[in-house]
Homo-oligomer: A and B are copies of this chain.
């Protein structure tokens, strides 16, 4: 985010400089006008490239957009979802409890509820279902 602002600010500044040069060349003859035009062309080519790359890379990180609306449909609560994410990371109930500051007992409760809501018998099946429903990252 900060980087984006920085890059755009730099672009604006360079634009300012380019236009300043262009206005100079008006008064002192049209000798450098081609240079200015090509500079602007390169600059905007870069801008177009950059903007598209940003939006494209975002799409690549999460090709299937995580559908958080489905969580409501399935009745999965916020905390339960957090547990689900940790399951996907391959953690045990004990480890999930440590990372989320919960007792193993509480994690078991959340997992049990998740299994019912995802219509699964095991946590591995829950992961499979969650992937089908696009509610967790691949």
Instruction: Select A124's contact among B46, B48, B123, B129, beta carbons within 8 Å.
Output: B123
The reply to whether the CB of A30 lies closer than 8 angstroms to some CB of chain B is yes
Interface: A16 (CB within 8 A): yes
Question: What chain B residues lie within 8 Å of A128 (beta carbons)?
Answer: 88-90
List A15-46 residues whose CB lies under 8 Å from chain B.
15-16, 19, 22-23, 26-27, 30, 33, 36-37, 40-46
Of residues 63 through 105 on chain A, the ones whose CB sits less than 8 Å from some CB of chain B are: 63, 87-92
A133 within 8 A of B: no
Contacts of A50 in B (CB 8 A): 48
> Whole-angstrom distance between the alpha carbons of A59 and B91 in the complex?
31
Assess A1 versus B4: contact at CB under 8 Å? Given A37-B22, A90-B126, A123-B124. Answer: yes
Q: Is the CB of B52 within 8 A of A48?
A: yes
Is the pair B4, A55 in contact by a Cβ cutoff of 8 Å? no
Q: List 21 A-B contacts (CB under 8 A).
A: A8-B12, A9-B51, A22-B23, A26-B26, A26-B30, A41-B41, A41-B43, A41-B44, A44-B48, A45-B47, A46-B48, A52-B56, A53-B56, A56-B56, A59-B60, A60-B60, A63-B63, A88-B124, A90-B124, A123-B124, A124-B124
| 5 closest residue pairs by CB, A with B | A48-B48, A90-B125, A48-B49, A56-B56, A90-B128
